[in-house]
């Protein structure tokens, strides 16, 4: 097996060759990304997108979301599921932001902060955990931070970066230590694509995988297949 840092470079090199090098672009401004991420928790992408669109149509300004009765926010985001818990969470985060800025409902000040300070601030907000903070840092601010979703976690432990039992939060720290900064965005995007199309949760397509010969899971998959 390759040492973790060499493995990370080789994974990115091969997937770059397979799919092309991902180019970073801002997906959404920071506050929009934060709220969209809260809405995405424990639901599908389609449902969270629908909830976000309804929220913005009903309340074009974030100040309006903050000042609205919670029941109206709940109704707007109901298609995303768990509206009764997400609406108060969103309003609590917006309230904390307004208190921090002296009334402005914006986190654009994060652009001027170093990555660790921005991460600590995001984690101080109600309803924001390591994954949500990492998504805002990576996709809105372009910082070298790896969001660990279910695909990144699954592909990473199968490749042998860490034991499956460590959990997603600890996985973030372990990957940050071994993936070169210049490869972090590409690593994240590649592993999501790879997890969705090849290294699936059920019946991974190891025979089609360009990483099979450097994958710790591949021998186990062979044994599992032959035992059927």
Active site residue 131: yes
**Exactly one of 45, 86, 108, 131 is catalytic; which is it?**
131
d(CA 38, CA 24): 22
d(CA 66, CA 94): 6
Among 52, 23, 34, 32, residue whose Cα is nearest residue 136: 34
Q: What distances in angstroms separate CA 110 from CA 25, 115, 127, one per listed residue?
A: 17, 9, 18
- Supply 224's token pair: 């599992």
Active site residue 45: no
Half-sphere exposure of 19 (CA within 13 A, CB side): 18
**Looking at the chain, how many residues does it have?**
228
**Exactly one of 16, 61, 108, 149 is catalytic; which is it?**
149
- Supply 18's token pair: 């397979």
d(CA 80, CA 48): 5
- Supply 200's token pair: 């699936």
- Inter-residue contact 30 to 101 (CB < 8 Å): no
- Supply 162's token pair: 């860490």
Annotated catalytic residues are: 131, 149
């Amino acid at each position: 097996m390759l040492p973790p840092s060499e493995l990370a470079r080789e994974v990115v090199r091969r997937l770059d060759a397979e799919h092309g090098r991902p180019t970073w672009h801002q997906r959404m401004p920071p506050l929009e990304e934060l709220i969209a991420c809260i809405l995405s928790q424990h639901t599908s992408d389609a449902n969270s997108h629908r909830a976000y669109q309804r929220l913005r149509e009903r309340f074009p300004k974030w100040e309006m979301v903050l000042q609205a009765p919670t029941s109206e926010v709940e109704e707007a985001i109901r298609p995303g599921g768990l509206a009764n818990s997400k609406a108060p969470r969103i309003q609590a985060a917006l309230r904390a932001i307004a208190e921090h800025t002296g009334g402005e409902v914006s986190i654009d000040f994060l652009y001027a902060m170093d990555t660790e300070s921005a991460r600590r601030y995001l984690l101080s907000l109600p309803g924001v955990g390591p994954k949500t903070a990492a998504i805002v840092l990576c996709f809105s601010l372009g910082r070298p931070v790896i969001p660990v979703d279910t695909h990144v976690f699954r592909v990473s432990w199968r490749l042998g970066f860490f034991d499956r039992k460590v959990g997603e939060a600890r996985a973030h720290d372990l990957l940050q230590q071994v993936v070169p900064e210049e490869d972090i965005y590409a690593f994240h995007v590649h592993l999501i694509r790879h997890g969705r199309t090849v290294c699936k949760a059920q019946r991974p397509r190891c025979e089609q995988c360009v990483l099979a010969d450097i994958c710790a899971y591949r021998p186990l998959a062979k044994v599992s297949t032959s035992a059927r």
